Amino acid sequence: MTTAQTLFSHIPATSSLLCDAAFQPLLEEFGHSRVVAVLRVLQDEARAQIKREDQLPDWCDNWSHKVHDTLTTHSHSTLRPVFNLTGTVLHTNLGRALLAEEAIAAVSEVMSSAVTLEYSLDAAGRGHRDQTVAALLCEITGAEAACVVNNNAAAVLLMLAAVAEGKEVVVSRGELVEIGGAFRIPDVMRQAGCQLLEVGTTNRTHLADYRRAISDNTALLMKVHTSNYHIEGFTHAVSEAELVTLANESNIPVVTDLGSGSLVDLTQWGLPPEMMPQQLIADGVSLVSFSGDKLLGGPQAGIIVGKKSYIDLIQQHPLKRALRADKMTLAALEATLRLYQHPETLIKRLPTLRLLTRTAEKIAAQASRLQPLFAHRFGTQFTVSVDLCLSQIGSGSLPVDRLPSAALTFQPKDGRGSSLVALSQTLRELEYPILGRITEGRLWLDLRCLEHEALLLETIAL
């Protein structure tokens, strides 16, 4: 026999491995089909290595260990919980808002039971799936009617398609924004079958610009919240209130894509001001859309509030069926909105507001508590300090405003950028990955979003 043939004969048969005592716990934990699937891949890998290098891979002396390793690494490769110490509270790539306990409980209840999603117990007939949530949204915002879809991008598409298909939509040049990904207002208009009519300039748009643009073919005047950028200097924009007065002369609606849409006045906690949907409804805007998982602090959802006649058009549009929210989203949103009925306990119970309102002093005290433990683990290579920093709200909310916060910072003693990259890699590879950010020659762990301090300590101690 050649060396290769001898080595091939050292690769055990699947059936004999499965009878091995070491494989019994694996079969129990991961199931027969997954263990066999991994074994096949590993056997192929071993054969390939023999062909390439005339030797068996090292792990061939312990197949059960290798299978266990592979299966646990794979089971980690999906959605993993991480410590968001990036300093951005509503981080789109990390799933934005954390749900309140009440919302989590509501979701888990509807997950395991049949529910009255489109069923009214009184009439024993078919109800409307947005009904309960819509009633709460109307109560909070003062709107006549409301509708919930998968996210705000869907809400914007649906408003345009239902109210303006085949007609013109007037938008200021300063508001033709890209939100991120492929969501750009001009493209969404095209998808919804509307014609975009740009008015004004990038920095200045006046009421007269809108007035000149209105014709028999105008379906609506649209405002888009420039949530993720800010222009300063010689600027002018027309408010919704002014637009409504103009639009009423021609009996056309004003529609606003508000983006974040906080349902409470954030300035009461010293946070920067953010336009609320209730203000726009009071100004006479016909439809306002916003996200469920930005400042509202709920599940991913797109919310449309406004005049009943337009919401009815939206509810009947075929795209509504394609974009509708599921029972878990509706349950989480309903429970979140109920928290707004008790404004005095809101900042304790709603994680988004709880995190946004943590003071720099509290966060700095937490950083000082943790500093010695991090210094113990990383102190040979890094100077670990407590430093003040600025957090961001994120998700395009209030892009220029920053919240005073505190961070643990790591400065490499060898002064090398590569040491920082290696450290951030080490932190990302922990059992519970820790995500920070590198800037100014240091790694920063902004502790604003650290609520599970004990878990972090455990992660670091391992």
Ligand X SMILES: *Cc1c(COP(=O)(O)O)cnc(C)c1O
Chain positions contacting ligand X, by CB under 6 A:
151-153, 156, 179, 183, 224-225, 227, 257, 259-260, 291, 302, 395-396
Q: What is the closest distance, in whole angstroms, from the C-beta atom of residue 329 to ligand X in the complex?
A: 12
Q: Residue 115 contacts by C-beta under 8 Å, 6 or more apart in sequence? A: 327, 331
In the complex with ligand X, which residue's Cβ is closer, 179 or 389? 179
Name the closest residue to ligand X (Cβ): 259
Q: What is the closest distance, in whole angstroms, from the C-beta atom of residue 396 to ligand X in the complex?
A: 4
Q: What is the closest distance, in whole angstroms, from the C-beta atom of residue 300 to ligand X in the complex?
A: 7
Count of Cβ atoms closer than 10 Å to residue 205 Cβ: 21
Q: What is the closest distance, in whole angstroms, from the C-beta atom of residue 143 to ligand X in the complex?
A: 18
Give the C-alpha separation, 134 to 123, whole Å. Answer: 19
Q: Which two tokens stand for residue 421?
A: 């990259």
In the complex with ligand X, which residue's Cβ is closer, 183 or 432? 183
In the complex with ligand X, which residue's Cβ is closer, 295 or 353? 295
If 0-12 CB within 10 Å is exposed, 13-18 middle and 19+ buried, where does residue 45 land?
A: middle
In the complex with ligand X, which residue's Cβ is closer, 172 or 366? 172
The H or E element that residue 329 is part of is helix 327-339
Give the C-alpha separation, 217 to 219, whole Å. Answer: 6
Pairing verdict, β 183-184 and 195-199: unpaired
Give the C-alpha separation, 20 to 29, whole Å. Answer: 15
In the complex with ligand X, which residue's Cβ is closer, 63 or 290? 290
The H or E element that residue 167 is part of is none
In the complex with ligand X, which residue's Cβ is closer, 291 or 392? 291
In the complex with ligand X, which residue's Cβ is closer, 42 or 224? 224
Q: What is the closest distance, in whole angstroms, from the C-beta atom of residue 65 to ligand X in the complex?
A: 43
Cβ 87 vs Cβ 392: under 8 Å: yes
Give the C-alpha separation, 432 to 83, whole Å. Answer: 7
Q: What is the closest distance, in whole angstroms, from the C-beta atom of residue 135 to ligand X in the complex?
A: 22
Residue whose token pair is 């109210």: 163
180 torsion bin: left (phi>0), alpha (psi -120 to 50), beta (else): left
In the complex with ligand X, which residue's Cβ is closer, 141 or 152? 152
Q: What is the closest distance, in whole angstroms, from the C-beta atom of residue 10 to ligand X in the complex?
A: 54
Give the C-alpha separation, 184 to 176, whole Å. Answer: 7
- Whats the size of the chain, residue-wise? 462
Q: What is the closest distance, in whole angstroms, from the C-beta atom of residue 210 to ligand X in the complex?
A: 19
